[in-house]
Structure 1
Amino acid sequence: MANLAAFLISDYAGYINGDVITIDGGEWLRGAGQFNDLSEVTHEQWDRLAELTRKGK
């Protein structure tokens, strides 16, 4: 965080304004961050979740 703050107040960051800087080790670039593990859910598990959702359970 200190390096980021130092950069943002330096002359090198003169064109940066109104931006969001994500510090998450690159998870955001892969997709949904916290939800990345959902890529491991099998088709059968998704089907079962869909059944449960449609039944309101």
Structure 2
Amino acid sequence: APIVAATDYVRAVPESIRAFLPMGRRYLTLGTDGFGRSDTRAALRGFFGVDAQSIAKAARHALG
């Protein structure tokens, strides 16, 4: 089964554990790689695609 890791920080954080995951597992990371944005956390999660809807979409994509 695939693994989807999401953070409201940079993607380097979930990428740092990739080496410790079982071989052969699909691993998708979502993060907020960007600078100079200022808004509410909820709005930024939506903008960067790390909100609940985006995580669910990534999981469906990984399964399909």
- What TM-score bracket applies, with the shorter chain setting the length? under 0.3
Higher relative contact order (CA 8 A, sep 6+): 2
Structure-2-length-normalised TM-score = 0.21
Q: Flag the structure with higher helix content.
A: 1
Find the structure with the greater CA-based Rg: 1
Q: Flag the structure with higher strand content.
A: 2
